[in-house]
Structure 1
């Protein structure tokens, strides 16, 4: 699928097993390494400002397509986080981790990263790929990785920069994904309890300033390693009972370290049910100023039904989409036309060398492409940008003039107008004007085009920041 050309302006928690047992009736998936909570958003989200828009003009999905993306957690350079993380979790919970971690491979090799990246590029797949900055306290992505040479680490980082970043957002997944560290010393706290693990208790009582310090520490490591970041991923239950402070810290840390215009973060998923999985645009402010801001919470729509967080719990492709293309979780979300964002853990994709999780993913992708011809693969940052523009752009109409005041620019901005007698549409911006080209097929819709669909017009165009308008000629 064609990609979005994103403009740049700015230089007690449920375990995954408990969640799936509750909502998916018998699916088997475990562990605090994958803990994510499903608390009601209404009590956790601070939306901030919203424009008072006309109701008859509707903002659609980009190009009237269904956004699709793939979230990869627990990935980093070379280190198999399951092998090195299990002993840390077992120290905090001696009775919960029977896996023989010594039998798991210590490395997920770059040769597999390249195979994965090549296949995804050939099939248009985009998404998010974590790089844990200090994985299980093994070593630092911007310094040394004991057990691997300096050259091996440099080559691995180069592979991520060149092969992944064109189609994948890079996120830190906090700092270690196991023990919380003291950012003043760079060393883990000496306590070996749940309260001092990133996945569990450490983050729940921290202020926005304290979380900003912690998130910024993680982001700076990846910046030092030459990796760009526009967002973050929370490991396990990080911030699950501290939502507003987490959102504020995500906004502030990404803007501070990378000057990100629209920060985003991944914290939640719904693996079943009717809850919306559309992104949540939070903490919006200054929409009519020169310095608008917001942060976007990205929501996944599946559990990890590939290979689990440790590569030992191989799932079934039918949990995503059945062979007849009608059953499974993905058709439900595709039919809602909400962003369809799959979630996995990198050790489960590699599956301890069998690549079983990767094979499930390949089949799932092939099935959704066979089912739907209107998919648009997007990075999380692209989805975040579009949803920020969708929810925060002021839209009004005066006779045959549709006016937009956008705090954030967006490619492929798509609107629906209840009109049946339009002859032409002209977009006027501070940079000039363009006559949109009329087309006949919805699948041909892209920026600079429009089509008539019964008693409505659908127009797609590049939305600039600030004021612009569409002039409708009847």
Structure 2
């Protein structure tokens, strides 16, 4: 949650784990045809990661005094001036706006927010009915467009999961944001993360991934990846777990998702590391520093971090913190988001908003699907299914048909690409379809 929360991230995993970094792959066959996996519907994925959100509790108000106990010189904000609550009326307003404008991403629910109380039981300071109403708002207006993540257990003090109590000492070695996670084994991290996930499951919320609080796991990346896979798979049975740990704002660094295989010999078991591409330029984790939409995309639509990443073709995933979106009732970050979305819509017509789980599934399918192209058929063998799988073949095609007999519709404008359509010119063909798990055959007619 601190301002430099992800600045000291390691970018390379240790030996013993395989990571796929290529944005696409080419698979030649005996006829020298190739198939390249493109972005879904040949559009650039965009998304928004919301950290430090939960039910009712303003994490900045309750978290800052706990951080100040550990590092008093670094946390001198007057936290008493910050509202203790981010009201459900704002959550509903935000969620309904997101649905109306198609904005998607990830929304944290901190399970034991700043040690105030439990989202699956009660939070002192609010009635049990108020907590249940808050969870219902999440179900009604957040779940459709947002993945739910725990941001570990409290996002402040480390919890003794045998007792449910915070450890006694408020020192870096017993804070989730700092040292506790850096020397833990994958199994130790997985057990702790499973504890957080189980609270959300008991509260009736779905989950396919986790978010790291502050510097959690920043120097223990290999074990973090393995533990993310283990904990999400164990508690929820998710086919493709994912996690958010890193963000890069440097132009030269790739922000493509990393598909990681904890067991090198089994590609059906994978976890996806989602990479953010911006800093929090909305309103900050503490709701004290006003943001700037121009850092994302300028008013003339020519510059900004989102422009850089979108034009590279990699997923453009913004990062923010919920207290800054609300910004003490002034909604500064929310208004900045509205400006960004308006500017992106003015400049681009080839974006697709996606949840992190959707991006993870697509990248896992992209990295693991075997593809063979012959004179008159496209043969695929997929470990994972996914929607809007999109391929480019380096030859013109007149007709395409699935094994079931369903024909693809040919379109004249590649910008209209959707499921079971294709566009073809004199040199190549782009086709979009729902990828099925297992073997799949698409017949091709060049005549």
TM-score by length of 1: 0.89
Match of 2:334 among 343, 358, 375: 358
**Residue matched to 1:123:** 101
CA distance in structure 2 between the partners assigned to 1:71 and 1:146 by the alignment:
28
Q: How many residues align?
A: 439
Residue pair 2:20, 2:258 contacting (<8 A) in 1 also: no
Which residue, 408, 420, 444 being the options, matches 1:472?
Answer: 444
1:39 equivalent to 2:10? Answer yes
Partner of 1:427: 402
The corresponding residue for 2:421 is 449
Query: Helix, strand or coil: the match of 1:232?
Result: strand
User: Is 1:240–2:213 an aligned residue pair?
Assistant: no
What are the equivalent positions in structure 2 for 1:257-406 lying under 5 Å apart?
257-283=235-261, 292-406=268-382
Closer/same/farther in 2, CA of residues 159 and 180 from structure 1, 3 Å limit: same
Residue in structure 2 matching 1:407, options 369, 378, 383 = 383
Q: 1:60 is matched with which residue? A: 38
Q: Report the Cα offset of residue 119 of structure 1.
A: 1.2
| Cα gap change, 1:36 to 1:177, in 2 (>3 Å) | farther
Alignment root-mean-square deviation, CA: 1.9
TM-score (norm 2): 0.95
Aligned counterparts of 1:37 and 1:200: Cα–Cα separation in 2: 11
Match of 1:219 among 182, 194, 197: 197
SS in 1 for 2:137: helix
Matched position secondary structure for 2:99: helix
Q: Measure the CA separation in 2 of the matches of 1:288 and 1:211.
A: 22
Q: 1:454 to 1:236 in 2, by over 3 A?
A: farther
- Matching of residues 137-148 of structure 1 within 5 Å: 137-148=115-126
Deviation (angstroms), 1:48? 6.0
Which of 423, 426, 433 lines up with 1:461 in the alignment?
Answer: 433
2: CA distance between counterparts of 1:454 and 1:214?
56
1:181 corresponds, among 159, 168, 183, to: 159
SS at match of 2:405: strand
Q: Do the aligned residues in 1 keep the contact of 2:17 with 2:264 (CA within 8 Å)? A: no
1:283 CA displacement: 1.2
- Is 1:231 the equivalent of 2:209? yes
Secondary structure at 2:162 match in 1 = coil
Q: In the alignment, does 2:187 pair up with 1:209?
A: yes
Uncovered stretches (5+) of structure 1, i.e. residues with no partner: 1-15, 17-29
**Structure 2: tracts of 5 or more residues without a match:** 29-33
